[in-house]
């Protein structure tokens, strides 16, 4: 078996044990993704892609992962220690989706992935670095759809009127109104009506006072 390509996705949080994700291309024909590069007590190692093990709720038969304290469907409380333990006494919570079946294959994958990981660490320090982990036959950056770019082109000219050409009115009750130039004739008529009403109020002020 020949590993023809290794792609690495470095994690931003360096304080975590998970250092990176990895994908392998085998003989230019088959890709295995989501291998993990993990920092262990004796250095980094490669973990195979895996899934969480589950069991069924005895009440509603819904599947829950083995660490779940309550059923995610009916809410009944579940026993906490449900996972099978390995020879070292550790709970078996995950099952490999893909894995090597002999030590020679495992060692080859380990060497290839760790070497690619160390190279990626060096590349990540360079200016303009772009991760290629997700870019299978695609451009590094997506382009807009033709209809979307056309819509953006037509809507790009700003229809917002300059603030200097706007008219701001304050009515007698303290409310503020903004009038754009295209609606200025209506604004003028409204303003004149308000002026006439205000004038009538001023003229009628004092009526009935002896």
Q: Are residues 186 and 91 in the same domain?
A: no
C-alpha 53/C-alpha 67 separation (Å) is 9
pLDDT digits (tens, 9 = 90+) for 157-185: 555 555 555 666 666 665 666 666 554 55
- Taking residues 15-20, report their average pLDDT: 84
Q: Are residues 10 and 44 in the same domain?
A: yes
Q: Are residues 25 and 106 in the same domain?
A: yes
Q: Against a cut of 0.95, is the pTM above it? A: no
Q: Which residue did the predictor score with more confidence, 58 or 176? A: 58
**CA 115 to each of CA 58, 122, 165, 195, 206: distance values in angstroms, whole numbers, following the listed order:** 47, 11, 65, 82, 96
Q: Are residues 102 and 45 in the same domain?
A: yes
C-alpha 58/C-alpha 66 separation (Å) is 13
Task: Tell me the two tokens of residue 155.
Answer: 């809507």
Q: Are residues 76 and 171 in the same domain?
A: no
CA 91 to chain centre: 32
Q: Are residues 27 and 114 in the same domain?
A: yes
pLDDT digits (tens, 9 = 90+) for 104-142: 999 999 999 999 999 999 999 888 888 888 645 544 556
pLDDT digits (tens, 9 = 90+) for 89-109: 788 888 889 989 999 999 999
pLDDT at 138: 46
- The number of folded domains in the chain is 3
- Say if residue 113 is exposed, middle or buried (CB neighbours under 10 Å; 0-12, 13-18, 19+): buried
Collapse the DSSP code of 36 into the 3-class scheme (helix H, G, I; strand E, B; otherwise coil) and give the result. strand
pLDDT at 91: 82
Range of the domain at 174: 167-193
Task: Tell me the two tokens of residue 184.
Answer: 């200025």
Task: Tell me the two tokens of residue 52.
Answer: 């969480």
C-alpha 63/C-alpha 56 separation (Å) is 4
- Say if residue 24 is exposed, middle or buried (CB neighbours under 10 Å; 0-12, 13-18, 19+): buried
pLDDT digits (tens, 9 = 90+) for 59-69: 999 999 888 99
Which helix (H) or strand (E) element contains residue 118?
helix 103-123
pLDDT digits (tens, 9 = 90+) for 28-52: 999 999 999 999 888 999 999 999 9
* Contact indicator for 117, 20 with CB cutoff of 8 Å: yes
Cβ count near 20 (within 10 Å): 22
∠ CA 195-182-180, nearest 5°, is 65
pLDDT at 129: 87
Q: Are residues 43 and 76 in the same domain?
A: no
**CATH code, domain carrying 107:** 3.30.1120.40
Q: Are residues 25 and 122 in the same domain?
A: yes
């Amino acid at each position: 078996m020949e590993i023809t390509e290794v792609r690495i996705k470095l994690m931003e949080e360096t304080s975590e044990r998970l250092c990176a994700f990895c994908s392998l291309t085998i003989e230019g024909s088959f890709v295995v993704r989501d291998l993990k590069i993990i920092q262990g007590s004796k250095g980094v190692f490669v973990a195979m892609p895996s899934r969480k093990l589950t069991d069924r709720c005895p009440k509603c038969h819904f599947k829950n992962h083995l660490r779940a304290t309550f059923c995610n469907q009916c809410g009944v409380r579940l026993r906490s220690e449900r996972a099978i333990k390995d020879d070292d006494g550790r709970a078996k919570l995950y099952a490999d989706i893909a894995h090597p079946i002999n030590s020679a294959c495992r060692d080859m994958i380990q060497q290839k992935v760790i070497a690619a990981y160390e190279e990626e660490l060096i590349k990540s320090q360079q200016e303009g670095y772009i991760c290629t982990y997700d870019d299978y036959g695609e451009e590094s950056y997506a382009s807009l759809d033709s209809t979307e770019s056309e819509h953006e082109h037509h809507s790009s000219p700003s229809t917002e009127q300059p603030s200097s050409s706007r008219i701001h009115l304050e009515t007698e009750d303290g409310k503020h109104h903004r009038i754009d130039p295209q609606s200025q004739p209506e604004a003028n008529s409204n303003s004149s009506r308000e002026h006439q009403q205000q004038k009538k109020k001023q003229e009628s002020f004092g009526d009935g006072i002896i």
